[in-house]
Chain A
Amino acid sequence: MRIPVFILLAALPAAAQEGLNGLRDQLHRTRERVFPALVHILNVEEVFRSGRRQKSVSSGSGFFIDADGHIVTNDHVAGKATQLIVTLANRTKVPAQLIASDPYTDLAVIKVDPKKAFPDGKVAIAVFGDSSKIQEGDFVVAMGSPLSLSRSISFGIISCRNRVLSTMHVRGHETGKYNTWLQTDAAINPGNSGGPLVDLEGRVVGVNTRASFMANNIGFAIPSDVAKEVVRALLEHGHVPRSYLGLTLQPLTDFDDSALATEGEGVLVAAVAAGSPAGLSGIKPGDVIRSLNGRPFSALFDEELPALYRRIAGLPLGAPVKIALKRHSGGAVEIDLSPEALGQDLGIETAIPEWGLTVRGITKRMALELNLPDTKGVKVTGLRPGSASAGVLNGDMVLLRMQGRKITDLDAFKKIASDLIRKKVKVIRFVLREGTVLDVAAIRPVYDEKEKG
């Protein structure tokens, strides 16, 4: 028999009613604590499309974390900003500047002049909580500007406290390798990015970052424990110093009852980057690492890998590292090596409007991805239709020499290009690599029609 809902509600015991009222009051208190620190961010950034440098406008969310006017948001919201406008809780708009960002965790810090951020001297900040203590089923509130609808709140629970998402590329940057995610069913939509995920005590337990649009209410936030570490490093160093060994790890869970089955704990080396500290030290795919600097180093499941990558990232640069591993052929092996700094995954992009061309500097990681022998040259990233470069160059090419001069890096390219443009050289000659093929090509720019982008 169906009972109308209103009868059920009316029939709720007094204790339940009281509970609901209590929850509502807690939600109100949470809102009051965090709302004044919540901001809407309008971001203007440079993008390179079809051989042009263009301006692009997007928006997201963020929250004040200190009295100096620092705001935490996502890298994909503000990490490439050339101009930032922040709308405060009192709806006034103030300019902000990018302080630093970390594409690997998709976090960024921007800053508003504190006098403008807190004109009445009343500092409104959101406080980070302890995400390690959060449990599935805990109530949370997502705050931000979904679809630019600022000062919005959605309510839900933690669906999973330790979700692993495969590493993905956000705007070309590898992201998600160093953290697990808080999964929530509190609605997270485009525009929520960078906003706080808050517990009912009003503490920020996560930074809302992703959502699955294939499903209802599957959103993901960067845990506050990761965010705190990253923000501290960004404020202290302007970047997150990370060490790099060149190891790709795999958990051991799938390999019981197989030739890789191993007694005790450890983590499997799946790949070793050529020329990396691990590669040069002789570590091989198939080795099982047991310990790092004397401490156990183990992952049975995927969820445990981000913590191991964070341990590697946290190794002091230049200091010796001792790795104990089990090798199928040789039993226990100890390896000493020295980590190097983890560089940027993507090089800086620049446009040469006179030639209708955009190029990117080549990082070590790009060289590995593109199977290049080294980081020399620049990668073609875009061609403006109808320009001198269109139809001659393409996006698979790496330019190695220009007018007989070596392109050692992006700076060298810019210097040579600027020299040739100043002299209005009419035939620009390139030696280039396209996959495994070397070729030459020449473009004939027309300087009278030059376009400043």
Chain B
Amino acid sequence: MRLAIVLLLCGAAFAKDASDGLMVVHVQYESTFGGQVRRRVLAAPALPVDQDGLLLAVGLHLEPPDGRDRDEAVEVSAIFPDGTKVEAEILGGEADLNYTLFRIKGGEKALPAPTVLQAATVAVGQEVVLHSRRGETFGYAARTRKATVTAVTVKPRRMYALGGDLGTWQGSLVTTADGRPVGFLSRTFVMSIDHGAMVGVGARTLVVMPLDLFAHAARHPPVRKKTEKRPARAWLGVNLAPFDKSHEAYYGVGEDWKGAFVTGVAPDSPAARAGIKVFDILQRIGDLEFVFEVDRHFDLLLVEVQKLPLNTALECQVVRFKEIREKDAFKSERLDLQITLEERPLDFADAPETEIKDLGMTVKPALRTWLSQRGLPRTMGGVVVTKIENGLAAALAGLGGGDHILSMDRLRITDAKSFLALLDKSRKEGRKKVVVLGRRGRGTTFVAVSTGW
């Protein structure tokens, strides 16, 4: 690995035009639904980033479907620019940075020259080129299109917005007109209170994530064993954002201020118990200093937070501002608090999915974290529809993915188990329909679902 790093740094024998070596990764998952086995293929352009066959691909669409684990992929392959297909493996990735790393497993074929993960900077109004490859039917032929940079975002890290309808170009490699790599086109998202970061770009926005963001990950690709159990992760219970220029301007402080700005504190969380408040600046927990540069990935710091020791009292240093009204200014105060981190609660993404075959739907429990992210009472309970099978009872009744089911036949649903128990009870009572109370948007509505399927 050290060799790879040296090569990356000296940049010898790397591709002249980053798009020349653009490959495709191809991942297949199987799922059983309604008694049928289905295969779902995920594909994305991938960039060779070292001499040992390490490939980098970007896009939420590469995330395993239905909360599955990446290890459940039944086939992983990499396709060379000339169409040759070879076996590959998934090394891992980070949802926060929206990337996945692959490794080509072997074969005789020479690898394309890797690309240095250094991003060319571009300015508003500059023309860039998007490089992708068409689907399997077209033999993954190269395709390109031009776009113009419409905005440069530096909160919390430098990203570029592009003009035009680019919905089908997610995961494309973006280069300057003369072929210098800029980054990957990615869908960004606002992360949850558990992840603790706000990206600050709209949920549907496609932006270019500069290649630098992935350099650290490419130098240290994860090694995961198939049977590895996910280690317990520490939970702070705050929303964090980088203390950026806008915050500095708000408090009238200089650029030497470092820390993570607290934009939310979950009730009953370790942070709340420690006395951390909204608008505090978190500077240190234990030995972990909250120091980062805006252009570097703030998210890595949050990953480090999750590695902090659990159930141990840790020193926590925060800065709190107080407003001096008469001077229209703020004064800062340093506080030393004690915090004991807990194990992070189950994420909605990690929550188990339950298939209700004869209604043609799958559900997950509406976890407390899921509810609080939506500003709903944490004790509301219910299940969330994650999948609907066309033509079956749930679909015919008008239920849809994302619907939040609160009750069945007027009885409260707490989780998937209670959903199934109530469905069973209704059947035993000979009812041909169950009535569920669903929440969609801000309103609720009753839906009658036939049980005769």
Interface residues of A, Cβ cutoff 8 Å to B: 248, 250, 254-255, 257-260, 268, 270-271, 285-286, 328-329, 368-369, 371, 385, 391-392, 394, 396, 403-404, 427, 429-430, 434-444
Contact A270 B374 (CB under 8 A): no
Specify which chain A residues have a CB less than 8 angstroms from the CB of B153 in the assembled complex: 391
The docked-state distance in angstroms from the alpha carbon of A435 to that of B202 is 12
The distance from the CB of A324 to the nearest CB of chain B, in whole angstroms, is: 19
The docked-state distance in angstroms from the alpha carbon of A404 to that of B321 is 13
Specify which chain A residues have a CB less than 8 angstroms from the CB of B433 in the assembled complex: 255, 257-258
The docked-state distance in angstroms from the alpha carbon of A255 to that of B448 is 6
- Whether A371 touches B202, Cβ cut-off 8 Å, given contacts A440-B250, A442-B246, is no
Q: How large is the interface on B (under 10, 10 to 19, 20 to 34, 35 or more residues)?
A: 35 or more
Contact A440 B279 (CB under 8 A): yes
Add 17 more A-B contacts to A259-B410, A328-B410, A436-B373 (CB < 8 A): A255-B435, A255-B446, A257-B433, A258-B433, A258-B448, A270-B446, A271-B443, A271-B444, A371-B375, A394-B200, A404-B328, A435-B375, A439-B241, A440-B251, A442-B249, A442-B250, A443-B249
Closest chain A residue, CB of each to CB of B198: A437
Closest chain B residue, CB of each to CB of A365: B442
The docked-state distance in angstroms from the alpha carbon of A435 to that of B403 is 19
The docked-state distance in angstroms from the alpha carbon of A396 to that of B375 is 15
Closest chain A residue, CB of each to CB of B426: A259
The distance from the CB of B302 to the nearest CB of chain A, in whole angstroms, is: 15
Contact A436 B432 (CB under 8 A): no
Specify which chain B residues have a CB less than 8 angstroms from the CB of A394 in the assembled complex: 200, 202
Contact B151 A441 (CB under 8 A): no
Closest chain B residue, CB of each to CB of A440: B250
Residue of B202, B246, B261, B426 with most chain A CB atoms under a 10 A cut-off: B246
The docked-state distance in angstroms from the alpha carbon of A310 to that of B446 is 22
- Interface residue B325 (Cβ < 8 Å from any Cβ of A): yes
Specify which chain B residues have a CB less than 8 angstroms from the CB of A369 in the assembled complex: 442
Closest chain A residue, CB of each to CB of B201: A394
Contact A254 B448 (CB under 8 A): yes
Closest chain B residue, CB of each to CB of A390: B151
Specify which chain A residues have a CB less than 8 angstroms from the CB of B251 in the assembled complex: 440
Contact B431 A257 (CB under 8 A): yes
The docked-state distance in angstroms from the alpha carbon of A117 to that of B59 is 63
Contact A438 B264 (CB under 8 A): yes
The distance from the CB of A309 to the nearest CB of chain B, in whole angstroms, is: 15
- Whether A270 touches B442, Cβ cut-off 8 Å, given contacts A260-B410, A404-B325, is no
Interface residues of B, Cβ cutoff 8 Å to A: 151, 153, 155, 190, 193, 198, 200, 202, 239, 241, 246-247, 249-252, 261, 263-264, 278-279, 323, 325, 328, 372-375, 407, 409-410, 426, 431-435, 437, 442-446, 448
The docked-state distance in angstroms from the alpha carbon of A286 to that of B426 is 17
Specify which chain A residues have a CB less than 8 angstroms from the CB of B431 in the assembled complex: 257-259
Specify which chain B residues have a CB less than 8 angstroms from the CB of A328 in the assembled complex: 410
The docked-state distance in angstroms from the alpha carbon of A270 to that of B239 is 34
The distance from the CB of B300 to the nearest CB of chain A, in whole angstroms, is: 21
In-complex Cβ contact of A403 among B151, B328, B426, B435 (8 A): B328
The docked-state distance in angstroms from the alpha carbon of A443 to that of B250 is 8
The docked-state distance in angstroms from the alpha carbon of A444 to that of B373 is 31
Specify which chain B residues have a CB less than 8 angstroms from the CB of A285 in the assembled complex: 437, 444, 446
- Whether A396 touches B202, Cβ cut-off 8 Å, given contacts A255-B435, A257-B433, A259-B434, is yes
The distance from the CB of B281 to the nearest CB of chain A, in whole angstroms, is: 11
The distance from the CB of B250 to the nearest CB of chain A, in whole angstroms, is: 4
The docked-state distance in angstroms from the alpha carbon of A396 to that of B190 is 12
- Whether A436 touches B198, Cβ cut-off 8 Å, given contacts A260-B410, A270-B445, A441-B246, is no
A-B contacts, 29 listed (Cβ < 8 Å): A254-B446, A255-B433, A255-B446, A257-B431, A257-B433, A258-B434, A258-B435, A259-B409, A260-B435, A260-B446, A270-B443, A271-B443, A285-B437, A286-B437, A328-B410, A394-B202, A403-B328, A404-B323, A404-B328, A427-B250, A429-B249, A435-B375, A436-B373, A438-B263, A438-B279, A440-B247, A441-B250, A442-B247, A442-B249
Specify which chain A residues have a CB less than 8 angstroms from the CB of B437 in the assembled complex: 285-286
The docked-state distance in angstroms from the alpha carbon of A394 to that of B161 is 14
The docked-state distance in angstroms from the alpha carbon of A430 to that of B249 is 11
The docked-state distance in angstroms from the alpha carbon of A403 to that of B251 is 11
Specify which chain A residues have a CB less than 8 angstroms from the CB of B239 in the assembled complex: 437
Closest chain A residue, CB of each to CB of B248: A442
Closest chain B residue, CB of each to CB of A441: B246
Closest chain A residue, CB of each to CB of B444: A271
The docked-state distance in angstroms from the alpha carbon of A286 to that of B444 is 10
The distance from the CB of B161 to the nearest CB of chain A, in whole angstroms, is: 10
The docked-state distance in angstroms from the alpha carbon of A436 to that of B410 is 29
Specify which chain B residues have a CB less than 8 angstroms from the CB of A443 in the assembled complex: 249
Specify which chain B residues have a CB less than 8 angstroms from the CB of A441 in the assembled complex: 246-247, 250
The docked-state distance in angstroms from the alpha carbon of A329 to that of B252 is 59
